[in-house]
Amino acid sequence: MKRLMMAAALLLAMEGYAQKKTTKLDGPTAIVKADTAKSVPVKPYNQVITAKAVTMQGMITVHRLESKFYLEIPDSLLGRELLLVDRIAKSPVDGPINPDGYYAGDQIGERVIIFEKSAGDKIFVRGVSYMMHAADSTGNGMYRSVLNSNLQPILATFPVKAYHSPQGSSVIDVTDAVGEDNGIFSFPAGRKAAFLIGAQLRDRSYTKYIKAFSGNVEIRTVKTFSSSQPGGDPLTFELNNSLVLLPKIPMLARIADQRVGYFSTGYVDFDADPQGVTRTEMITRWRLEPKDQDREKYFRGEQVEPKKPIIFYIDPATPKKWVPYLIQGVNDWQVAFEQAGFKNAIYAREAPVNDSTWSIEDASHSAIVYKPSTIANAMGPHIHDPRSGEILEAHVSWYHNVMSLLHDWYMIQAGAIDKRARKMEFDEELMGQLIRFVSSHEIGHTLGLMHNMGASSTVPVDSLRNKTWVEKHGHTPSIMDYARFNYVAQPEDSIGVKGIYPRINDYDKWAVEWGYKRFPGIQLPKDEKTLLNKWIIDSLSGNHRLWYGPQQLFLSTDPRSTNEDLGDDAMKAGSYGIKNLKRILPKLPEWTHRPDEGYDDLTKMYQELLSQYTRYAGHVINNVGGIYLEYKSVEEKGDLYTPVPPEKQKRAVAWLNQEVFKTPEWLLYTPVTEKTESYYGASYVTKAGTKLLGELLNGSRLASLINVAERYRCKNTYSCNAFLNDLDNGLWSELHTHARIRPYRRALQNNYIELLGRIILPPVQVGTSVAAGPPQSTELLIVLKPHLRLLQKAILAAIPASTDAASKAHLQLCSEKIENVLHPKK
């Protein structure tokens, strides 16, 4: 969601946090005076910048003389940090040569640089990083050592063409630097590889303009590249480089806390621990400050307007009918900032039209950028000052096809309770409100907020069916959750839209207050640490809806912080969700019917319904082997890690046996499947079942069950053996009932043996073939091998009693597969 390109590690002068000027000791940003010996002739100013030059005044004065571009850099700017942001202004047509996608407005690079005067009448451009800090505040002598070990790279050098003595400035020619493919004002090497971009074609590349503004410089170039794809056409881009002056005095940073979900930027601090090193993280946030005349009012608790509000502009390319909803999605956040003491702190407006001085690529403007893309997504990245975490600008990417995603989600999750969802093209008002919700979510990211995947777990499932309660409180306390729509509500509950859509809610308001509220008398970040810690403890102890559950990128360890779930009980919520899916499935032929069309829409929505079904099952699976994680400070009681109660895990397995591993006949609805599925290969339902079984019998999950049982052996835990026995009672029930084993069940039982076999003997590639690899951990083998032996014994005992030929052959094959796992051939 955010990208920060750093050239190397640098000293971070923390005196800036104390709101005073930093003194730098021979640091990499120090100005080296030019030597008297001139390596390059320097001409008089009027011979370089002649009367023919077109000049634009600003932070850096820009001169254009025919095809040449000159920057006049004032001495006052030397050594000042500038943020260089590179974006695509216009891109080639999206197509097969563009697998990773590139669109107008996409950021492709970001770094901090400084201009520095060197001997021989040269100006260096030096890269700057803030990954390490030492200021010798503890007297441990680390400052000089850190400085000497982190020399910043010189990215470019420019001979001074002329000095402008009255102004105290140096003139350099940047024509070639901005026009060539040098990785500074162009694509980084990694992006070129991803976009299949080859070498720059200089005869088809040129600089359109360089414009100067009071706090930034905007460079626009047209660059054509060969394609690295054989036979591919050349690729022409318009690129925009924004050079933004960072604040002379960095904003007062706020130290990040794991109990409140903010993006952060950090550094290794050699000062904090005199006998080691500490990683310090600062949250990313906008600089919101009361006006000087309102400071006393603010600290008395009155709402005041900030010195500089957060303004988002709507891309002029956005379809007009969606603009009001995008604007409202931004303005909805005003209520959160009011809780932090600021009114009118954030709002959106349409971008200026026919204004040559305004550009959406300008890094001094924040915008919601419309992208005519087939990608069904939206993103809310931001750029920030790496010295303090201050957010400087954000560009929300709103891809056109996100509307397709919203349609499909809403039809399947809310179609049982909202009549408006029962067609392939939604009314403008409904789609507009869905766009508004996405807009608000992405704007939350640009404010510094991360996903809060645990928010919805604080809501009792029964409350989601209570019309009065859910319409007042919402179905999740945070719009930053992945809790799209209220799929738990049943038709008889008569829930209105206030109880279906996400909204900016309790957690969002509190998190913004925690991140943006200012306190009097604070000089350094550490000065407010105790206050903020107590605030979190008091807030969470009084209101569980403020709990933050971080996004889990891999195996979901804490089942409460799961994507796309609702409520405090996955089994109960999933059962309600399935009841609604059973209502929706028979209606899909009617809801997807469009004259003169085929069955593509029916197929798509049936697959979406299956995906929703597997999500419900996935939420339940995450309880098995799950561990609750509660971030705490040492002032709080209780453990950080607690296993999911064994009775809840046992209920989860029972639910899976009933809703997933028992053939889900209702999903095999022939009026739909006969128009959506091929008769070749496994059915969609079988593929879904085997996929879910694979998630459940994940080696890491089984290891977690074993490890938890060992770690908490004095407590009541759910052992791996108990889990496998409970699973077998459902998945292998035919061994005891001698019933016919149907194709769906045969597929799952075969998959069961294969999954355990891959854990016991993981497959490895040997040349062009796959062979069994070395055994897994001893603890897993101790459990799994004896379990498979018992299962094989039960299978062999059931074969003589089986009267169905296919079932008997299947069981014989299962026995052989187990034998090959337990006694693999050499």
pLDDT tens digits along 366-385: 999 887 766 666 777 788 88
Q: Report pLDDT for 381.
A: 75
Q: State residue 345's pLDDT score.
A: 98
Residue in 28, 526, 532 with CA at minimum distance from that of residue 278: 526
- Sequence-separated (6 or more) residues with CB below 8 Å from residue 149: 9
Residue 740, CB-side half-sphere exposure with 13 Å CA sphere: 6
Residue range 57-96, pLDDT digits in tens: 999 999 999 999 999 999 999 999 999 988 888 888 654 3
User: Going by C-beta distance under 8 Å and a sequence separation of 6 or more, which residues neighbour residue 171?
Assistant: 45, 48, 49, 63, 70, 71, 72, 73, 160, 161, 162, 163, 164
Phi, psi dihedral angles at 109 (to 5 degrees) = -170, 160
Instruction: Give the torsion through C-alpha atoms of 466, 467, 469, 472, to 10 deg.
Output: 160
Q: Could you give the CA distance from residue 282 to residue 301 in angstroms, rounded to a whole number?
A: 25
Q: pLDDT tens digits, residue range 412-439?
A: 999 999 999 999 999 999 999 999 999 9
Q: Determine which of 212-221, 549-558, 635-644, 749-758 has the lowest per-residue pLDDT on average.
A: 549-558
pLDDT tens, 703-749? 999 988 888 765 778 999 999 999 999 999 999 999 999 999 999 99
Top-confidence residue, 438 or 3: 438
pLDDT above 70 covers a percentage of the chain that reads: 85
Indicate the SS3 state at residue 801: coil
State how far the Cα of 482 lies from the Cα of 190, in Å rounded to an integer.
31
112-116, 341-345, 570-574: which has the minimum mean pLDDT? 112-116
Q: Which residues of 506-539 are buried (b: 16+ CB within 10 A; e: fewer)?
A: bbbbbbbbbbbbbeeeeeebeebeeebbebbeeb
Per DSSP, the three-state class of 331 is helix
Which two three-digit tokens encode residue 424? Answer: 């392939």
Q: What is the mean pLDDT of residues 188-205?
A: 88
**Top mean-pLDDT range of 11-15, 246-250, 707-711:** 246-250
- What average pLDDT does the segment 127-142 reach? 58
* Residue 34 clears pLDDT 70, i.e. is over it: no
Average pLDDT of the chain is 86
Over the range 480-500, which residues count as b (16 or more CB within 10 Å of their CB) and which as e?
bbbbbbbbbbeeebebeeebb
pLDDT tens across 430-467, in order?
999 999 999 999 999 999 999 999 999 999 999 999 99
Parse the chain into domains and list their residue ranges.
Answer: 14-250, 296-622, 683-822
Distances (CA, A) of 144 to 7, 80, 134, 139, 140: 20, 21, 8, 11, 10
Nearest to 810 by CA among 791, 794, 789, 795: 795
Strand-pair partners of 349: 313
Q: What is the rounded average pLDDT of the residues 546-551?
A: 94
Judged against a pLDDT cut of 80, whether residue 339 lies above it is answered with yes
pTM of the prediction?
0.85
Note the pLDDT of residue 613. Answer: 98
Give the pairing of strands 264-269 and 235-245: unpaired
Model confidence at 524, pLDDT cuts 50, 70, 90, reads confident
Higher confidence at residue 29 or residue 247?
A: 247
Percent of the chain whose pLDDT exceeds 90: 67
Q: What is the predicted pLDDT for the residue at 690?
A: 96
Q: Of the ranges 129-143, 469-483, 714-728, which is most confident?
A: 469-483
Query: What local confidence, expressed as pLDDT, does residue 40 receive?
Result: 63
Q: What pLDDT score was predicted for residue 280?
A: 83
- Model confidence band, residue 302 (pLDDT cutoffs 50, 70, 90): very high
Question: Which tokens go with 559?
Answer: 């089942």
Q: What is the mean pLDDT of residues 539-545?
A: 94
For the chain, helix (H) and strand (E) counts, in that order, are 24, 25
pLDDT at 161: 96
What architecture does CATH give domain 296-622? 3-Layer(aba) Sandwich (3.40)
More confident residue, 196 or 569: 569
Coil vs helix vs strand at 314? strand
Q: How far is CA 86 from CA 111, 184, 234, 367, 598, in A?
A: 9, 8, 21, 15, 45
pLDDT computed for residue 755 by the predictor: 95
Cα dist from 53 to 65, 68, 243, 356, 690, whole Å: 5, 9, 22, 20, 71
Q: Residue 17: what pLDDT?
A: 29
